[in-house]
């Protein structure tokens, strides 16, 4: 299917043909990658949209608060797939989500630059908190300098547990290691 063959009334944005089984072109086909994403948003034939979101956003309760209001106003159901940032962006790249709700700005900007998204909207922020045992073997309790705390973890060979899953949290962690001047891939240790 080519962009010109999609059965759409361009003045109303509504489907003009039987699209129950039709699918918009996938991003890997030979045409502008932005079009499938826009089409999936604009020409949805069922009253269900899909949001690929981070688990932290799902766990915050935000969707539980806003989605009933959205449904009441629009009549549109929204299915939320809660995964890590990397998985959510991959879901969007495949065209299996209408909206991605993630928290890793560089990865989001890359997603847009690759043509898979239309626009990035900042919605909220999250904090990166370093948690350790109450005995504080690293001596970093109460510090406001997370980069210095990471350096201390390495210098004292204090064990560090990473999600290691390409989530937004993992990407933030890797950025902090880099800011601390530590190449975590090369300097493998208990941290």
Architecture of the CATH domain 3-113: 3-Layer(aba) Sandwich (3.40)
Task: Mark residue 81 as left, alpha or beta (left: phi above 0; alpha: psi -120 to 50; beta: remaining).
Answer: beta
pTM of the entire predicted model? 0.59
Has domain 127-191 been given CATH number 1.10.3720.10? no
Q: What tens-digit pLDDT sequence spans the chain (191 residues)?
A: 333 333 333 333 333 333 343 344 444 444 344 333 333 444 444 566 899 998 888 998 999 999 999 999 988 899 999 998 889 999 999 999 999 989 888 889 999 999 999 899 888 776 778 899 999 999 999 999 999 999 999 999 999 888 888 777 888 889 899 999 999 888 877 66
| Contacts for 171 with CB less than 8 Å, ≥ 6 apart | 85, 86, 104, 106, 107
> CATH 3.40.190.10 residue ranges in the chain?
3-113, 127-191
């Amino acid at each position: 299917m080519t962009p010109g063959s999609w059965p759409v009334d361009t003045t109303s944005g509504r489907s003009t043909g039987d699209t129950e089984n039709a699918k918009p072109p996938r991003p890997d086909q030979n045409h502008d990658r932005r079009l499938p994403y826009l089409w999936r948003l604009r020409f949805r034939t069922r009253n269900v949209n899909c949001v690929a979101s981070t688990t932290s956003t799902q766990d915050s309760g935000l969707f539980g608060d806003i989605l009933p209001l959205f449904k009441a106003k629009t009549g549109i159901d929204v299915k939320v797939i809660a995964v890590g940032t990397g998985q959510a962006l991959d879901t969007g790249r495949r065209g299996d989500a209408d909206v991605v709700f993630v928290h890793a700005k560089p990865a989001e900007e890359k997603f847009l630059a690759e043509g898979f998204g239309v626009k990035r909207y900042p919605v909220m922020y999250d904090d990166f908190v370093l948690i350790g045992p109450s005995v504080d073997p690293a001596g970093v309790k109460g510090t406001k300098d997370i980069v210095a705390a990471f350096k201390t973890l390495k210098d004292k060979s204090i064990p560090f547990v990473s999600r290691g899953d390409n989530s937004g949290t993992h990407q933030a962690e890797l950025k902090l290691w880099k800011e601390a001047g530590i190449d975590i891939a090369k300097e493998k240790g208990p941290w």
